[in-house]
Chains A and B, each alone.
Chain A
């Protein structure tokens, strides 16, 4: 049994004029426990809508989402969605420690244990020494590290990530990709990742689903079986990496501009 199953999922919106727009076409896919899978697609293809529907934050128009054998009808307890906008999703009134502890507390842990666990995760994302800082005192990359630590503190079986590094600068992005891979290998969480960065998807994932423009559908599934641990220089320098990148780029590029 797959940990996450999406069956014939579609989602349409009623627009202001009364017309309905189909954001998600007909998506069917499965994620196995412990996998790292990415959706990659052009901007405006409904990626965020897709992830929010899988996370139970939006109701699907038709189709089903099944997490660990149970159909999703609201936010499931064993899944958490991490947003791109770390500056909006972090709790401005809580310190770094307080934010991460929130993740542990939301899981239902007692306060003393929560503290120790939060501190451990803060160290894991490389923020030791910043426990008492408030989010506004940190750089964007550090804030997203806090958000990742908070999400992992919740101990989700499935972690959904909506373009988490989309608004970070290129170097910070590479650093965070490696941090994420390290955490994933250590904590064995299943990750479903969304990005519009093709190379990021190849670098991080086991499998990649290429999405079409609106209404989004999976046009191709691609395996990214580079040996782990991966390396920002050597993995990306492999000829196969470039070939894969070009292959996916053609898939997305072929759809033309709307």
Chain B
């Protein structure tokens, strides 16, 4: 389908051309909707001057710290909750009570405890990424076939080795799913928490531009976030292929 492949980009170009025309001819208020060429040029200037990359770096440091902390705590917890009904019952009520809390609601609480610093944002991200990671890991462990576990036992594997060499790889597809679901949540919450209480980061950058009525700069920040989200997803795909080489090509055959 060679023609079909180009339809999407062509439609986008047509829309951009129409937008450009509308802004130049002042059919729309150019103060609120600047021409895409203006936004594009400003975006490149802000990238080359290092302003946008620096803000993204600040945000990513917070985001990934919270995200990786959530993975480090909730993957092991999920494994133990999946394996042991006792551990599951122990944590079940707490998890079920905290999970439905909309993550932005945690921000005021976090502000109280951590103030305006990085710790507040890291905690909010840690909290919001926790649940998809935890629940998918529990599901993954519970889905492991008893034949696989008995195979580990008949080969005399210790409990620790069974977890590391059999259970962890066996439920890695579900763990990866949890991590993937958490990725956009991480991005959303780093932006929100920076909008609420911060003096830097890409979330602050967008809000600050809007407040100062630097509208083109605000759009440039949005563009940066869109590209960031896309890049993160692509990087995640690479990571997944590297972590699970046995799944390569599997989809095409089955």
Contact = CB atoms under 8 A, between A and B. Distances in A.
B150 A80 contact: no
Interface string A80-92: 1101010011011
Contact of A154 (B155, B166, B170): B155
Contact of A80 (B154, B244, B246, B254): B154
Contacts of B4: none
Contacts of A83: 147, 150-151
A88 B148 contact: yes
B153 A57 contact: yes
B156 A77 contact: yes
Contacts of A25: none
Given A106-B155, A106-B157, A89 B170 contact: no
Interface in A42-75: 52, 55, 57, 75
A225 B83 CA distance: 48
A77 B157 CA distance: 10
Interface in B219-254: 244, 246, 250, 253-254
Given A57-B150, A80-B154, A93 B246 contact: yes
B145 interface: yes
A134 interface: yes
A238 B151 CA distance: 38
A215 B150 CA distance: 24
A52 B150 contact: yes
A92 B157 contact: no
Contact of A93 (B154, B155, B169, B253): B169
- Listed residue (B154, B156, B169, B250) with the most chain A CB atoms within 10 angstroms of its CB: B154
Contacts of A136: 246, 250, 253-254
Contacts of B166: 91
A41 interface: no
Contacts of A95: 246
A120 interface: no
B147 A93 contact: no
B172 interface: yes
A55 B154 contact: yes
Nearest to B244: A93
A89 B151 contact: yes
Nearest to A98: B246
A95 B148 CA distance: 16
B148 A89 contact: yes
B172 A93 contact: yes
Contacts of A81: 150, 154
Interface string A154-165: 100000000000
Given A81-B154, A91-B169, A102-B165, 10 more contacts: A77-B156, A81-B150, A85-B145, A88-B145, A88-B147, A93-B169, A93-B170, A93-B246, A95-B246, A106-B156
